Amino acid sequence: MNGRELSIRRLLFAIPLAFLALFYLYPLTRIALQSLFPAGSWNPGQLSALTDSPVYLRILWFTIWQAALSTLLTLLFALPGALVFARYRFAGKGLFLALMTVPFVLPTVVTATAFRALLGPSGILNEGLMALFSLEQPPIRIEQSLIFFLLAHIFYNYSLVLRLVSSYWAGLNPSLTAAAQLLGASPWQTFRRVTLPLLLPAITAAALLVFIFCFTSFGIILILGGPGYATIEVEIYRQAVQLYNLPMAAALSLVQIGVNFFLMWLHARLGKNNRLGFFSDSRHDVTKEPHGVAARLLVAGNLLFLSLLLLSPLLALVLRSLRGDTGLTLAYYRALGHFDQESIFFVAPLTAVWNSLGFAMVAMVLAVLLGLAAATALAGERGRATSFWDALLMLPLATSAVTLGFGYIISLNRPPVDLRDSLALVPIAHTLVAFPFVLRCILPSLRQIPATLREAATLLGASPFMVWRRVDFPMSRRAILVGAVFAFSISMGEFGASAFVTRPHTATMPVAIFRFLSQPGEMNYGQAMAMSTILMLVTCAAFWLLGRFSTTPTPPNHPPT
């Protein structure tokens, strides 16, 4: 790498680093200072209380073991599905892949409502069983239980494990397994001695991400777990919102950030030399039709499980949005266009839809530009410091939205950076949440481009920009498009940060849904279901169109002609 290219990479990396420093590290630093210097002098009493009190130790232990159990269960159910999607072709595969992405970007309030619509005391399944067997009490009683939010964790993270592992699995060179079989290895021996060791980086990376997401789980446990279950994230919310004890909330956040940074560093180390990404393309098309009874049962069984776990809550959500007191109706959808001057909203519900679309477009552009700059800077680096910087850029993914929200209130409330009433604060917060996903989509694609292609273009007189335009961009454009769709969908469904930074006239769809659910009345509940369904359908359509109409770039071992 020559001096000019090195300077360009450093300049590119400085852009997302400056964004992260201003809108992530600075707010967290202000909260940490308030925790450790509450009266302007050093006082680590809050950190000491974490280790001295059995209450906080119990919360920490519960946070760890429920995240570990959720991760184990998700891997157990998702790995067979990864095999099916990596090795077999079947009707509706693209639609299933699109539908699987929807739970990962839905707001927690929507997910909780969908599970209640399906499995709650008055849910569709309980009502059907009571009518079928003439029961007086609902037979399924799992609300506010460990089982309820464990199911929701699997619901959220199943698609993450399946897509990450299956895309990596599909990219393995099929000649390795063919050689093992020619040497007399059985299918099980081939899997155990060849395939499984090669899959370990992807499985470990997926497990780390699932553990981080469950470790920082907030809305699912708060809504579905009930008051008997408290994780660090829930306790941060309780200390900050209910008790307004920001120093203790900040102390808990420091513990959470320390654990998550270490896990993100491990994930970055795994992904540095491996093609790990949320939506990586395969180098080898090895999918085939499922022949034989065993293969067909494997595909059918996994699709059935996928439908029960992922599609049934979403279907229950759609049905509930169309069902009124007198049967099927579109009244809840029509009501979204009306604005009652005496309602709790300062804008019409339909205006919240347009707010979300506008914020999502801005956040998508910002996240893609920042992710592309960071990925371009990191793609050519292989030093020890690369894992540190990669983990640092991914850290917003594992940070409490509650903490960030209060951090913005504390830090961005005075000149020269006073954004409390600015429209820019919402897309900035959404960009911060979406940026790590965009980076994880683009970086693996750039890393798998052979350095010899760039060197050849340079020797032929191409400038660094020309090399990027003629080599890097054509071979990573699908990953960029995937990152853009991911950023758009995440912004549309972002709730945690939006609950703190939106203003009455800038409410987004998730905030409006939460307001509907917070108010009594059948019409409010129905409109929440209708708006949740619209949000779900928009997300599903975006990923389905992405998979159907986007073209796969030329594999890196076959340079473009």
**Residue 55: which CATH number?**
1.10.3720.10
CA gap 530, 534 in Å, rounded:
6
The radius of gyration of the chain from alpha carbons, rounded to an integer in Å, stands at 24
Does residue 554 lie within any of the structural domains?
no
CA gap 81, 85 in Å, rounded:
6
Helix (H) or strand (E) holding 323: strand 323-324
Residue among 483, 485, 511, 487 at smallest CA distance from 497: 511
pLDDT tens for the chain, 561 residues long, are 566 677 777 888 899 999 999 898 888 888 777 767 766 677 766 667 777 778 888 888 999 999 999 999 999 999 999 989 888 888 888 778 777 777 776 767 677 778 877 887 778 888 888 888 888 888 888 877 788 888 888 988 888 898 888 888 887 877 888 888 888 888 788 888 888 888 888 899 889 889 988 888 877 787 777 667 788 888 887 887 777 777 787 778 778 878 877 887 787 777 655 555 555 545 455 677 888 888 889 999 988 988 888 788 888 888 888 887 777 888 889 888 776 655 555 667 888 888 999 999 999 999 999 999 998 888 766 666 677 787 788 878 767 666 777 778 778 777 767 776 778 888 998 999 889 889 888 888 888 888 788 778 878 887 777 888 888 888 888 888 888 988 998 888 887 778 777 877 788 888 888 788 777 788 888 888 888 888 888 877 777 777 665 544 333 333 332
Residue 3, pLDDT score? 65
Does residue 182 lie within any of the structural domains?
no
Token pair listed for 475:
């071979």
| Phi, psi (degrees; rounded to nearest 5) at 473 | -65, -50
Any bridge partners for residue 417, and if so which?
Answer: 414
Does residue 386 lie within any of the structural domains?
yes
Q: Which residues of 396-476 form beta strands (DSSP E)?
A: 413-414, 417-418
Residue among 413, 467, 537, 461 at smallest CA distance from 95: 537
**Pairing between β-strand 323-324 and β-strand 417-418 as defined by DSSP bridges:** unpaired
Does residue 157 lie within any of the structural domains?
yes
Residue 17, pLDDT score? 92
Structural domain span for residue 483: 3-38+50-174+192-323+333-549
Does residue 180 lie within any of the structural domains?
no
Residue type present at position 116: R
Does residue 186 lie within any of the structural domains?
no
Does residue 328 lie within any of the structural domains?
no
Q: What angle do CA 368, 111, 429 make, to 5 degrees?
A: 30
CA gap 393, 205 in Å, rounded:
16
Q: How many domains does the chain have?
A: 1
Does residue 44 lie within any of the structural domains?
no
